[in-house]
Amino acid sequence: MNVIRVAAKEFFGMFVDDGSLALLALVLVAVVAAAVKLLALPPLLGGALLLLGCLAILLQSVRRAARGTNR
């Protein structure tokens, strides 16, 4: 049973290195998709929001990782 747990953890770790980065990206996609579908937001504006949101999330993640390293 322990071997299966370790293998599952490694498999999950291949796709998700930073949990908050993945979670925020999923939330961003869900919010923008809901805005495009329910609020009739133009898809081009939705794409721009996704681009800017992903860049902001990535920048925040990189800053947090840089703060964690000791130089």
- Which domain does 44 fall in, by range? 17-68
The answer as to whether 26 is a domain residue is yes
Domain count, the chain: 1
Q: Are 28 and 57 in contact (CB under 8 A)?
A: yes
The answer as to whether 8 is a domain residue is no
The answer as to whether 32 is a domain residue is yes
The answer as to whether 50 is a domain residue is yes
Structure tokens at 43: 């898809």
- What's the predicted TM-score (pTM) here? 0.74
Phi-psi region at 33: left, alpha or beta (left = phi > 0; alpha = psi -120 to 50): alpha
**Sign of the four-CA dihedral 17, 20, 23, 29:** negative
Structure tokens at 5: 């747990």
pLDDT in tens, 21-68: 888 999 999 999 999 999 999 999 999 999 999 999 999 988 988 887
The answer as to whether 4 is a domain residue is no
The values of phi and psi at residue 39, to 5°, are -100, 5
The answer as to whether 10 is a domain residue is no
The answer as to whether 7 is a domain residue is no
Taking the C-alpha atoms of residue 34 and residue 29, their distance in angstroms, rounded to an integer, is: 8
